[in-house]
């Protein structure tokens, strides 16, 4: 019997657009000889499946099932590709936990913590060889913030929503005059904002996943952006940045990065595939942790997809390993 897999997409934030693109790739790539796939759209007050006929069928939230004609379809597992809330912040994970349905991504607690950049840094900062930029976490947009930041940090600074994704609401601030506008932009996206010192270095993003019971570190991608930093435009507009996979690192750097990110994966109790962004500082080569993404994009050009292909593994095989791991 083929297992029934719910491919969960959509979401409650601006990232739903990326989620739909990721889901389209997963849907056409997943091994149909092994799995029956049902794409479930999750929007505020509107969870549904669309039949081949175009009929929209609501999801029964009591048991996360759908009824097509006379057949009630219950799912063996969930392939979660819902970026942002509620797929990446632990809300969906908690719901599936209560129903006893396995899913491909991190558990409720890990998802909630890693959505918060400040809390994540506090947990990983004592991992050997890992550094974090000095930062301040702000909980409200008040006038006193400017002096608090000036007393603790030095320019240039990165201002970013603490819980946001896809680099929406991020700014780089080089003068104190630019600070109020940058804070306003970030607070427009989130109730918490992270202000951190700028680290001058080469930027990389690396995928790690657990499959067949083993943690695998994928080849890192080096990001060379024509923009000042890897913002929304650099991520999603073709030609704005160059992505080199595998990234240009020495053997020592590859080994050290692999060691560090494996420790991050283990310490945060990650599941499935995650992506960790980091800098190698220009002057010292030190590893600086930026953030972790627990529902990384799966579009044709996504970093994880590039990295999996660089190992010689097909994306279909990769998805099968993620699905089988959640059942193990």
Task: Name the 3-class secondary structure at 223.
Answer: strand
The long-range contacts involving 242-247, CB below 8 angstroms and separated by at least 24 positions, are 243/303, 243/306, 245/219, 245/220, 245/221, 245/303, 245/306, 245/307, 245/310, 246/219, 246/220, 246/221, 246/307, 246/310, 247/202, 247/204, 247/219, 247/220, 247/221, 247/222
Cα(first)–Cα(last) distance of the chain, in Å? 17
Give dist(CA 103, CA 86) in Å, integer: 14
Instruction: Give dist(CA 299, CA 274) in Å, integer.
Output: 15
Which tokens hold the place of 39?
């794409």
SS3 breakdown of the chain: % helix, strand, coil, rounded to 5? 30, 30, 40
Q: Which residues are catalytic?
A: 15, 166, 302
Annotated binding site: 277, 291, 293
Residue 216 CB partners (closer than 8 Å, separation 6+) = 208, 209, 210
Q: Which run of H or of E encompasses 306?
A: helix 303-310
For residue 38, the surrounding DSSP H or E stretch is strand 35-43
- Known binding-site residues for Mg(2+) equal 277, 291, 293
* Residues β-bridged to residue 3: 35
Map residue 253 onto helix, strand or coil.
helix
The secondary element (H helix, E strand) that includes residue 35 is strand 35-43
- Cα–Cα distance measured from residue 23 to residue 39, given in angstroms and rounded to the nearest whole number: 8
Tell me the β-bridge partners of 43.
46
CB 100 within 8 A of CB 29: no
């Amino acid at each position: 019997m083929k297992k029934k897999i719910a491919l969960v997409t959509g979401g409650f934030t601006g990232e739903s657009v990326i989620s739909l693109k990721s889901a389209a790739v997963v849907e056409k790539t997943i091994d149909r000889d092994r799995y029956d796939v049902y794409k479930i759209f999750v929007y505020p007050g509107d969870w549904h499946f669309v039949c081949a006929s175009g009929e929209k069928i609501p999801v029964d939230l009591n048991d996360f099932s759908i009824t097509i004609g006379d057949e009630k379809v219950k799912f063996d597992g969930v392939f979660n590709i819902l970026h942002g809330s509620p797929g990446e912040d632990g809300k969906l994970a908690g719901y599936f936990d209560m129903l006893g349905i396995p899913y491909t991504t991190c558990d409720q607690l890990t998802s909630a913590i890693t959505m918060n950049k400040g809390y994540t840094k506090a947990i990983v900062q004592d991992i050997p060889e890992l550094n974090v930029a000095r930062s301040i976490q702000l909980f409200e947009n008040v006038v006193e913030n400017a002096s608090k930041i000036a007393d603790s940090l030095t320019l240039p600074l990165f201002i970013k929503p603490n819980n946001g994704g896809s680099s929406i609401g991020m700014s780089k601030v080089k003068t104190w005059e630019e600070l109020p506008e940058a804070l306003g932009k970030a607070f427009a996206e989130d109730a918490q904002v992270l202000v951190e010192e700028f680290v001058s270095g080469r930027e990389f993003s690396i995928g790690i996943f657990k499959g067949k019971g083993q943690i695998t570190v994928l080849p890192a991608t080096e990001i060379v952006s024509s923009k000042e930093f890897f913002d929304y435009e650099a991520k999603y507009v073709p030609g704005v940045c160059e992505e080199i996979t595998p990234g240009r690192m020495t053997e020592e750097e590859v080994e050290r990065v692999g060691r560090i990110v494996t420790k991050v994966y283990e310490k945060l109790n990650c599941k499935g595939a995650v992506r960790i962004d980091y800098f190698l500082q220009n002057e010292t080569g030190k590893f600086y942790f930026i953030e972790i993404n627990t529902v990384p994009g799966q579009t044709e050009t996504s970093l994880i997809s590039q990295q999996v292909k660089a190992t010689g593994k097909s994306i279909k095989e990769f998805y099968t390993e993620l699905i089988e791991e959640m059942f193990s």
